[in-house]
């Protein structure tokens, strides 16, 4: 029995509902985690998504900005919304599901982008991002006894050298500055999280999930970044069979600048 979990920053779920529906019909993951849904809870297209078999939906929405949702074929319980930095933003939701005799807590995050200037003294958005990551350091993969954990989402940080198209040129660009990458690696270390994407794809290989709208020909330039992540607790990591980054989705009609990333776990 295989478990497939997809994370996707959709950049407005109502605007891009047609490609969400196409993706679910064609790829059929067990669980779809969306970020930047940009709508309030009652505006989320639950009926359309439920009609495709995803009747278990938990949402943390916000008018016009941010917002995260988990859409699942499997029953979801114990949903929780954490208000990181006390800003009132909808950037986190989690829920529990069961698979292969295991109880699993699934976290879905949308970390602040941080603006353009990597200096918190002149750019409050960057300071907010650093504070958000600092609070994430308290999140442990082993927080609940008898419960495994998976963390997904748009973390807006590309931590490794080959998570960006040019490590040297990106060192002073928000998403790859040392203060951000060191912070995210510390979140992983303190929380005993396993970066299962890099477990499957060696750190020496390029791996991207985002390509800017600003590029005239994003595919030819291929100046990507790995901003979207899938982590797990140590007990689930050996069950990972593969990772699929659906790069072709960046070329779909009215695409998000992020593409779906799916992790496949095989039952022992």
Residues belonging to the binding site for Mg(2+) are: 9, 36, 154, 156, 257-258
Task: Please check whether residue 21 is in contact with residue 48, taking contact to mean a CB–CB distance below 8 angstroms.
Answer: yes
Give me the catalytic one of 60, 92, 107, 258.
258
| Cβ neighbours around 232 below 10 Å, total | 26
| Cβ neighbours around 223 below 10 Å, total | 17
Tell me which residue has tokens 């912070």: 183
Helix (H) and strand (E) counts in the chain: 7, 14
- Nearest CA to 66 out of 114, 11, 6 is that of 11
Task: Please check whether residue 25 is in contact with residue 260, taking contact to mean a CB–CB distance below 8 angstroms.
Answer: no
Distance (Å, whole) CA 85 – CA 212: 27
Distance (Å, whole) CA 9 – CA 66: 10
Distance (Å, whole) CA 111 – CA 35: 10
Report how far Cα 18 is from the mean position of its chain's Cα atoms. 20
Distance (Å, whole) CA 133 – CA 130: 5
Give me the catalytic one of 30, 89, 154, 195.
154
Give me the catalytic one of 54, 92, 107, 110.
110
Pairing mode, strands 2-9 and 68-72: unpaired
Our answer to whether residue 229 is catalytic in this structure is no
Residues flagged as binding site: 9, 36, 154, 156, 257-258
H or E segment to which residue 94 belongs: strand 92-99
- Residue 266 pairs in a beta bridge with 2
- Nearest CA to 9 out of 154, 163, 208, 155 is that of 154
Our answer to whether residue 258 is catalytic in this structure is yes
| Active site residues per annotation | 110, 154, 258
């Amino acid at each position: 029995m295989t478990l497939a979990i997809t994370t996707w920053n959709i950049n407005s779920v109502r605007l891009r509902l047609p490609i969400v529906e196409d993706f679910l019909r064609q790829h059929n993951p067990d669980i779809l985690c969306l970020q930047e849904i940009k709508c309030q809870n009652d505006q989320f297209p639950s009926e359309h998504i439920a009609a495709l078999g995803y009747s278990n939906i938990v949402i943390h929405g916000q008018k016009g900005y941010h917002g995260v949702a988990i859409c699942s074929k499997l029953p979801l319980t114990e949903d929780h919304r954490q208000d990181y930095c006390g800003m009132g933003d909808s950037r986190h939701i989690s829920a529990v599901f069961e698979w292969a005799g295991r109880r699993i807590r699934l976290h879905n995050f949308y970390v602040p982008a941080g603006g353009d200037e990597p200096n918190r003294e002149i750019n409050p958005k960057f300071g907010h991002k650093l504070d958000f990551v600092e609070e994430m350091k308290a999140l442990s993969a082993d927080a609940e006894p008898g419960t495994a954990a998976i963390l997904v989402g748009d973390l807006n940080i590309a931590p490794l050298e080959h998570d960006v198209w040019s490590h040297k040129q990106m060192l002073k660009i928000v998403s790859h500055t040392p203060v951000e990458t060191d912070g995210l690696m510390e979140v992983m270390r303190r929380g005993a999280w396993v970066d299962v994407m890099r477990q499957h794809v060696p750190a020496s290989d390029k791996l991207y999930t985002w390509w800017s709208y600003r590029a005239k020909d994003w595919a030819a330039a291929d100046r990507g970044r790995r901003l979207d992540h899938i982590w797990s607790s140590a007990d689930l990591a050996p069950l990972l069979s593969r990772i699929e980054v659906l790069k072709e989705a960046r070329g779909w009609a009215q695409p998000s600048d992020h593409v779906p990333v799916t992790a496949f776990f095989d039952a022992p």
